[in-house]
Amino acid sequence: MKRINLFLFATLILLSSNTFSQKNSTGIFFSLEEALGSPNQVRTLKLNSVNKFIESNSEIKLPKLKVLMLSGIEGIELQKLLIAIDRSRELEEIYLSGCELNYLPHEIGNFTNLKIIDVSDNNIRTLPYEIEYLTNLKRVDVSNNNLVNLSNKIINWSNLTDLNIANNDSLQQGKVFLTLSFLSSLQHLTIGGLTKLEPNVADLQNIEHLTITESNFVSLPKEAIRLKNLKKLTIVNSSATQLIYLFAENNIQTLYLNNTPFNGGIEQITSLKELKINNCSSLNLTDLLSQLGNNKSIRSLSITSCGVEEIPSNIINLKSLERLDLTRNSIKEIPNEITSLKNLKTLNLKNNVINPKEITAIQNSNEQLNVYWDFYDEFIEDKEPATVNVKKVIAQPIEGIDVPNQAFKITTEEEITLSFKSGTSLEIPKNAFVDANGNVIAGEVDITFREFIDPVDFLVSGIPMGYDSAGVSYNFSSAGQIEFRASQNGQEVFPNSNSLI
């Protein structure tokens, strides 16, 4: 008995020590007061108010600050903060989305190590000339502002790979496209909120990925647009048919259509290897497969949240298909033609109501095929009520002691990396979550995360580490486990298969 008490006491000490050492182990702080209490631990600072604290702290030393995320900050507050943290020259990312800024302070030019700037959803008309000093920038988002021009100074952004200028109604396309043509490293450009597309979009010969969002075109170039490096075309909330024809003569390998009606043109893209269509209720899958019938290069087909009720038999024409994703549809049966796709390696049927017997049959027909699906109660053949006492799978052996969760609040419009003391890191892209109906979640999401990395974690959490096979008991070997949950306003949200964590 004494040995058990000693063990429990030692476990308590270990857990308490571990919990204490992990406080702010991610380096994420939510107030200046908290950050200044441990200035050398601050990696990420998330604030929604600074004015009162800045007044009494003209200089703020956060020598290892990498990421600054602000909300509800006015221009003058931002300027004071940038002056106060002027010595934090290691700053690499700054997020100012939705702050109602009318201008970006000149002091932004002091942070020459910046790699990411997000000032989307503000009221900014011009960018300060000091932006020319930010030569390390890799990604810039100035979408949903009132920009009237992009300064020629941005040609100094020699490392820029990703730029979003969508929904700036007063931007002069001709001048902007000419300026961007000098950015040799620019790979991904997002434009949107357009009613016309200027022919000199053809100046963007370095672009590899073009995204067009929320545009209702009444005027498009008459001649096909040829961009020698264009490999991926994304069209969101826009009419796609004319755009597909306009860019079809390029070497497009990936086409992504999101909430975008179309009625043809895909057959013109002979180089297409990956096609992704999401939230297109008017989609006729039979017609689409007919358009793809002569395409020998297509390797991946994703049709998600489109209300598809059956897989047409002409799926058999896609002989080279390796990945088929039909998540969140209304499919109930798998046609026999699927078994003829000998190159198929991945079939995702999650959120479709399909009999497990069909899943088993399709897996038996192709040993290399991995099928992902959900099990539904309606397929349980023996529906007699259970009379056996069911033991709770996970039960804590020591009441009140468990591996603690770490809680975070993130914004879905921003990319973020969560790093943990254990060495684990989670890269969460934009739009990483969907609701139960498959709709992309916007706004803030609450995340809880915890790791089980050693035998003590397994013990106190109650995770069972034994299993039975053919009457013989075995123990699991584990290098570690994690628990990751996400919710919004108390409702569980789910991973977005098109924006994987």
Examine the pLDDT at 17 and tell me if it is beyond 80.
Answer: no
Task: Give me the mean pLDDT over the 251-280 stretch.
Answer: 92
Residue range 486-495, pLDDT digits in tens: 988 888 888 8
In this predicted structure, what is the pLDDT of residue 460?
Answer: 66
Q: What residues contact residue 325 under an 8 Å CB cut-off, 6+ apart?
A: 300, 301, 302, 303, 304, 346, 348, 497
- Does residue 125 or residue 17 have the better pLDDT? 125
Task: Give me the mean pLDDT over the 28-40 stretch.
Answer: 86
In this predicted structure, what is the pLDDT of residue 464?
Answer: 67
Indicate the DSSP class of residue 170: T
Mean predicted lDDT score pLDDT of the chain: 83
Q: Residue 377: which pLDDT band, with cuts at 50, 70 and 90?
A: low
- Which of 485, 487, 473, 389 has its CA nearest to residue 444? 487
The beta-strand segments (E) located in 221-299 are 232-236, 254-258, 274-278
Examine the pLDDT at 229 and tell me if it is beyond 80.
Answer: yes
Q: Which of 288-292, 388-392, 396-400, 438-442 has the highest mean pLDDT?
A: 288-292
Task: Give me the mean pLDDT over the 250-262 stretch.
Answer: 93
Q: Residue 442: which pLDDT band, with cuts at 50, 70 and 90?
A: confident
Spatial contact of 43 and 67, defined as CB atoms under 8 Å apart: yes
Q: Residue 344: which pLDDT band, with cuts at 50, 70 and 90?
A: very high
Q: Residue 54: which pLDDT band, with cuts at 50, 70 and 90?
A: low
In this predicted structure, what is the pLDDT of residue 116?
Answer: 95
Residue range 280-303, pLDDT digits in tens: 988 999 999 988 887 889 999 999
In this predicted structure, what is the pLDDT of residue 14?
Answer: 39
Per DSSP, the three-state class of 144 is: coil
In this predicted structure, what is the pLDDT of residue 50?
Answer: 64
The beta-strand segments (E) located in 357-480 are 370-372, 406-411, 416-419, 425-428, 433-434, 444-452, 466-469, 472-475
Examine the pLDDT at 478 and tell me if it is beyond 80.
Answer: no
- Does residue 376 or residue 392 have the better pLDDT? 376
- Does residue 112 or residue 365 have the better pLDDT? 112
- Which of 150, 147, 190, 199 has its CA nearest to residue 169? 147
In this predicted structure, what is the pLDDT of residue 28?
Answer: 85
Q: What angle do CA 304, 306, 307 make, to 5 degrees?
A: 120
- Which of 335, 235, 355 has its CA nearest to residue 285? 335
> In this structure, how many other beta carbons lie within 10 angstroms of the beta carbon of residue 356?
13
Task: Give the DSSP letter string of 18-42.
Answer: HHHHTTTTT-EES-HHHHHHSGGG-
